[in-house]
Structure 1
Amino acid sequence: MADHAEHTEQDKREKLKELVKDARIGMLTTMTTDGKHVSRPMALQDVEFDGDLWFFTYADSDLVAQIRANPQVNVSFSDAKQHAWTSVSGSAVQTDDRAKAEELWNPLLKAWFPDGLETPNLTLVKVHADSAEYWESAHSSKVVTLLGYAKAAVTGKTPDAGENETVRL
């Protein structure tokens, strides 16, 4: 494991931002009114320096109803190419910020929002992150990682799983 003392909070924030941007698709988890967790894949639109995450959705979606009832959410990211995983906790809010929507719009979004920025009920969800945790494998190869786990199983020693950091935002 990496020495946690060598990483400043700013270093950890920058690493988190890099890992989230590389992953691009996150699983946004909300809670229903009857207390069940629901996760759905969402395409990340922007990662601000302070950890805010932006997503397009429909104003009449279950997602928006759920964050109105309970704004506490989690967004998890997995980047198989980098062997990295990220979990971001925070609070979400729905916003109809046309200027922000124009700034974030990407033509690929027309697959989900056929009328572009004029799509009826198009809205943004902003997740303001409070904290995050990330894990980054020490090895860039699945084979090396799996061999490390197999060796650990045989020897009884904990494998070198890479770097794990908690980030306060």
Structure 2
Amino acid sequence: MSTTDRDTVAEVMKDTQIAILTYQDPQGRLVSTPMGTQDFEDPAQIWFLTRFDSEKVEAITARPAVNVSYSSDKGWVSLSGTARVNQDRAKIEELWDPSASAFMSGGPEDPENVLLEVDGDTAQLWESPGKLGMLVTMAKGLAGEEPAKDSDAPVVDL
């Protein structure tokens, strides 16, 4: 991944208020849930606050492979990686903010409040052409001049 691509991946992730975390439930079905990314300095490591007694923690403990998707005006990111539960009270305290208090009971000292730490392996990035570019592409496709392309973004290592 070029530095520019990695920077754009990070920008999309930072600009996304709510990411979508996808994991497998005990029956192997894919389950997606909205999650607020608490913080990350590197797109290869992200943090979510959650409850230890949740079904997602139980499922992720058994099957730690996850995908996290992000969307912003700059584009879309699909990050694949491995999640694990982290009960580091100092890190929870560091990442706890007013949004956590709005969605979770207790506080950072509550032992049921834990972190999901996701170590990203790969990411895919689709850059947005912007609103005007998207409208032009759609208009051309509708007019039959140039159909929009359904293209896969290259998979890049983080």
Query: Could you say whether these structures have the same fold, taking a TM-score greater than 0.5 normalized by the shorter chain as the test?
Result: yes
Aligned position for 1:149: 138
Deviates most, 32-41 or 99-108: 99-108
Quote how far apart the aligned CAs of 1:12 are: 1.5
> SS of the counterpart of 2:91?
helix
Identical counterparts, % of pairs:
38
**Alpha-carbon distance in structure 1 between the residues aligned to 2:31 and 2:148:** 32
CA distance in 1, matches of 2:52, 2:147: 47
Aligned length: 158
Partner residue in 2 for 1:130: 121
SS in 1 for 2:126: strand
Unaligned runs of 5+ in 1: 1-7
Counterpart of 1:4 in structure 2 is none
SS of 1:102's equivalent in the other structure is: helix
- 3-state SS of paired residue (2:42): coil
Q: Distance in 1 between matches of 2:79 and 2:43?
A: 12
Instruction: Determine if the alignment matches structure 1 residue 31 to structure 2 residue 24.
Output: yes
Q: CA deviation at 1:156?
A: 4.7
SS in 2 for 1:117: coil
Which runs of no fewer than 5 residues in structure 2 stay unpaired? none
Deviations along 1:54-83, whole A, 9 cap, x unmatched? 00000111111111111000001122xx15
Segments of 4+ moved more than 4 angstroms: none
Q: Deviations over 1:92-129 (max 9, x none)?
A: 00010111112111122111223221334000000100
Task: Show the counterpart of 1:105.
Answer: 96
Q: Distance in 2 between matches of 1:108 and 1:75?
A: 19
Is the alpha carbon distance of 1:49 and 1:132 closer, same or farther for their aligned partners in structure 2, counting shifts above 3 Å? Answer: same
For 1:37-116, list aligned pairs within 5 A.
37-49=30-42, 51-79=44-72, 82=73, 84-116=75-107
Q: Provide the C-alpha distance between the structure 2 equivalents of 1:146 and 1:160, rounded to a whole number of angstroms.
A: 14
2:3 counterpart residue number = 10
Partner of 1:128: helix, strand, or coil?
strand
Per the alignment, do residues 76 and 160 of structure 1 end up closer, same or farther by CA in structure 2, a change over 3 Å counting? same
CA root-mean-square deviation? 2.3
- Gap change, CA 1:43 and 1:110, over 3 Å in 2: same
Distance 1:50 1:39 in 2: 20
Indicate the SS of the match to 2:105: coil
Q: Is the 8 A contact 1:58 1:122 kept in 2?
A: yes
Quickly say closer, same or farther: Cα 1:56–1:139, change in 2 above 3 A: same
Q: 1:53 to 1:20 in 2, by over 3 A?
A: same
For residue 102 of structure 1, what is the amino acid of its counterpart? E
**Counterpart code for 2:51:** Y
CA distance in 1, matches of 2:6, 2:130: 22
